[in-house]
Every structure is written in structure tokens, then in C-alpha cells.
Structure 1
Amino acid sequence: MMNTAYRWLGSPAPGGLVLPAANPTPSHLYAPRGVYLDDERLIVADSGNHRVLIWHGFPAIDHQPADLVLGQPDFFHEGPRATGRGPDHGFQLPTGITVAEGRLYLADAWHHRVLCWHRIPDRSGTPPDSVIGQDSLLDIEPNRGGTVGPHTLYWPYGVAWINGWFYIADTGNRRVLGWRGLPSDRQPPDVILGQPDAYSNAENRGGPPTANSFRWPHAIAGDGETLYVADAGNHRVLGWTPPPESDRPADLVLGQHTMHSAFEQPHVPQGAYRLRFPYAVACNSHRLFVADTANNRILGWRPPPRVGAGIPAQTVYGQYNFDDSGENRWQAVAANTCCWPYGLWLHRHWLVVADSGNNRVLIWHTEN
């Protein structure tokens, strides 16, 4: 599918395969990894610049400057921990974003925590109000400086709010944590997926891939009927129908023909079902999209598959066809190409893509 993105945020490309500029400004991005859109705002985790940018409303023009910045003293600084101000004001590789019950949640991945603003910030530099996964906003050690437990995080890359459940993709601990309602720190999760208990974090539970294990769970999405997890390290997406309230095997696998394979074959035709490092997933009741990151494309299913294995996609964004997988199609950075798309968000008919390798965010108008 060769439709062109409706909106391009980040600096323009100078031509050919030369990437857009990434120096921190109100309109430049560096390797963004997380995106969120609703009727009132667009929020982007500008991961390489260790900051979050917020636009009021839907961007009206390409390359539009952001209205607010979080995690840095101004729009022109970058670096971990807000250029020396400390981890209570700054981030290190912010990734997943969501809004739940009027609160902003951010996966501050390399600080091993999820940050929360109890209301959406309306001014730049607003510090977070609370934290999940650490004892305080000044603490940043993996698993709170100890071993894995029910209240610890290690490289959490994804967050999601789905049908009254809050989820964290606790990537380094190879598990997904879920709470009924919004959690507070030290509140144990109501469900743990991917591990036999709250004190284990072995890759694929210490064995080969199964229907209830992860290598790198990176992102979470759902529509209330099915919960989807992008298991990037196993080159697959798992789905549970209905969403699980306890640890159990998945009902769906995309990207693999069975629940027990993690096949990867780079630089060959991939087809409509194969995935390589899928880092993001987004859905509503009508459509499912997966960021097939290492194949430099977005795959789409309509309606969302819910049970089975190896179901082929019907649409592709970023490539000419299902067999191509080159970065920017090995031609030029354009409004219909991708280079390592890393984050997705679906709102109404708008598909927002953190096109990380191109230092930009694209917004596509999808079919109804």
C-alpha cells in the first residue's frame, strides 16, 4: 500500500537516504520510540533526546513545532537526567506512553520505572508526581537494586490502559504485569504473564519459546476482546482472547507458524505473515497494526485476528509489497517509507508511527 503519510513531524529529509537532522529543537526528533494521540493532544517520546514532546491538538502542518517539552530544561537541550538536574526531573530513554483517567504515564526504560503525572502537564518542565518500580523519583537501579520481585522493573518499554486494566511490558524481566484499575507503587500486579511467579525472569521461562513465554515483550495493545503483546525477541505477536486474568497460554501467534518457534531470516522476502523484531502493536475493534521493525514496514489485519497461528496480513505500509524489507526501500527518505518503525498508536482512523530510524513521526490516514 503506497499511500503517503498525512502528516510528517520532525525535520525534513535533505534528500536520498540522508536522514533528517536530529539536533534538539521544538521541531526536531531523534529516534522517537513512543507515540500517543487523542482528540486533544499528540505526545511523543523523543527517546534519543531523552525528552517528551506534546502538541496541543492535531498538528496542522508538517514539521510543526511542539508546544511543551518534559524532561529537559528547554527545547534545545538533550541528554539523560535533564542535563544534570537529576532523575526526579529527567529521563533516560523514555519509550512507551499512555493516558489513563486523565493521568500521563511514561515508561522511563533505562531508569527502570514508570512515571506518572496526575494531570496532563500544561507547562514545560513539569516534573512527574509519582513513580512505579522505584522507591522514589531519585532512584533508578534495575529491580530496585536487588532481584526481581512483584514490585520491581527492569527495562520497562511499554505501558497500556485497556478496558480498565493497566499493563506494563517489563521487558528486561521478560514479563507483562497487569492491574485492575490504576496501580500505585508497591501494589502487586493482579496478573503476571510470561513467568511462573513474581520472582522469576528467565528468557522464555528458561527453555524454548512457548505460548506463555517471552523473550523481549515490548508493547501491549487491546480492544477489550483480545490482548496483544509484541514479543520482539521471539519475532512474534501473541494474543489472548479473552484477555487473561491469570497466567495462561496465548490463543494467537502472528509472525510464526507455531507457538514454539522464533524463526528469523533476514534480508530475504518476508511475505505477509513473517515478522522480524516487532516492537509495537496498535489496534481497535476493526483493525490491528504491527510495527515489523527490522523489515521496515507496518503490517495491518482487518478484522483483528484473535485465534490461530501465522495468519497473513492484508495491508502493508512503508514498502511496495509484502516481499520488500529495505530501509526506506533503499531509495530515499519519503513520506511513504519507513526505517525501523518503533512505536504505534491508533486513534479513530489515524495511525501514528514513531519512525525511529528516520528521526520522525508519521501520521497515516487508514481505511475505515
Structure 2
Amino acid sequence: SSLAHLAEPMNAVEFEDEIYIADRGNNRVVAWPSDGSGTMGRLVSGSNPGSGMCDLYAPASCEIDRTRKILYVADTGNQRVMAYEISASKAGRGPLEGTVVCGGHGRGTSLSQLECPIDLALDGDGIYVCDYGNHRVLRWELSSDGLSAASEAGQLVA
């Protein structure tokens, strides 16, 4: 779809005069000028419903670490959370190649797997992932290798 049109936008976050939008129906994240001056968005990542490092599949949420200038995306269809450097995005080199920071090990219930991540939240040291399909919220340390969650809430682990 054209960068002038959105399909099923799920979430938006403002940073440095741009609005970053999780455009679920188009399998991408786009950035628009926050002052409404643009007639077309700029591709940040995605547009193909694949699982490559430049692809997204039904992204549901995005959040920005304002200190590190990193965009995090809940890549719902791929059961993972991706990270992108905003400076590379602003240089117009989209679709950007991201880094898997949470999940990405297929669907499942282990602490290294997600089942439908739909929302994100950040604090100074970690990222919280609402893992809808597993009825839990997981927290990863931002400095971790992304292999397993640091903690879990909402579900007992035996």
C-alpha cells in the first residue's frame, strides 16, 4: 500500500517532531511529521509480512526509548519484539533492519517465547511486553541478550 495510506493503525508514539505508527494492516511502521505537514509517511521498517530482519507481520505497538533513541515494535505475527535505531530511520534508509530483543523463538510458553505480543512499555532499565496469548506480562532487561525474560507477572511458573 502507498505510504499515503494506513490500514489498521494500532498505536502511535511521538518523538522529535514525528509520529511513529504501527500500521498493522500494511505490516509496517511509518513515521509522519507531527505537525501534519506531510501528505505521505516515511517507511521505517516492514511492508512485507515476512520474518526477516527488515520485515514485520501485523505489528501492534511501538514505543520509544527517548534516551537511547531506539524504537521498539511489538511484531505480533512473528511473536517477537524488534528494535530499530531512530537515527538510521531519519536518514531515510528504510526499510531498516532491526534486532530481535524479545521472543523470536516461535510460539510458546517458555520465558524465551511469546504468543501474540500486543503492547509494550518501557522503564529506565527494561521493556515490558504484554504477551496476550499467554496471559502474562514479561519484563526484559534492556542490557540483556534477549534470550529469556528477566521476570514475569500474571502467570505462575512451575
Q: Could you tell me the TM-score, scaled by structure 1's length?
A: 0.38
* Residues 1:111 and 1:244: Cα distance change in structure 2 (over 3 Å): same
Q: CA deviation at 1:248?
A: 2.4
1:130 is the counterpart of 2:43 = yes
1:192 aligned to which of 70, 77, 101? 101
Letter of the structure 1 residue corresponding to residue 101 of structure 2? I
- Cα distance in 1 for residues equivalent to 2:103 and 2:148: 9
**1:1-368 counterparts in 2 under 5 A?**
87-117=2-32, 119-122=33-36, 126-134=39-47, 141-143=48-50, 148-162=51-65, 163-164=67-68, 165-184=70-89, 185-196=94-105, 202-204=106-108, 209-240=109-140, 242-258=141-157
Structure 1 gaps, min length 5:
1-85, 135-140, 197-201, 261-368
CA distance in 1, matches of 2:3, 2:85: 27
- The Cα shift of 1:221 comes to 0.8
Q: Which runs of 4+ in 1 moved over 6 A?
A: none
Kept in 2, the 8 Å contact 1:217–1:233? The answer is yes
One-letter identity of the residue aligned with 1:178: A
Instruction: Check conservation: 2:82, 2:102, Cα contact below 8 A.
Output: yes
Q: How far apart are residue 121 of structure 1 and its match? A: 3.1
Q: 1:151 to 1:129 in 2, by over 3 A?
A: closer
Letter in 1 for 2:81: V
Q: Is the 8 Å Cα contact of residues 20 and 30 (structure 2) preserved in structure 1? A: yes
Q: Across the two proteins, how many residue pairs are aligned to each other?
A: 152
Distance 1:127 1:188, change over 3 A: closer
Q: For structure 2, which runs of at least 5 residues remain unmatched after alignment?
A: none
1-structure distance, mates of 2:99, 2:49: 22
Please state how far the C-alpha of 1:212 moved relative to its aligned partner. Answer: 1.3
- How far, CA to CA, are the matches of 1:172 and 1:98 in structure 2? 20
> Are the aligned partners of 1:191 and 1:246 in contact in 2 as well (CA < 8 Å)?
no
Q: TM-score, normalised by structure 2?
A: 0.84
Q: How has the CA–CA distance of structure 1 residues 195 and 111 changed in structure 2, closer, same or farther, with 3 Å as cutoff?
A: same
- Indicate the structure with greater strand content: 2
1: CA distance between counterparts of 2:13 and 2:88? Answer: 14
What is the aligned-residue identity percentage? 30
Q: CA deviation at 1:222?
A: 0.9
Give SS of 2:60's match: strand
Question: Is contact 2:76–2:118 with CA below 8 Å preserved after alignment?
Answer: yes
Q: SS state of the match for residue 142, structure 1?
A: coil
For residues 251 and 225 of structure 1, the distance between their equivalents in structure 2, rounded to whole angstroms, comes to 11
- Find the counterpart in structure 2 of residue 329 from structure 1: none
Contact 1:179 1:191 in 2 (8 A): no
User: Counterpart amino acid of 1:150?
Assistant: M
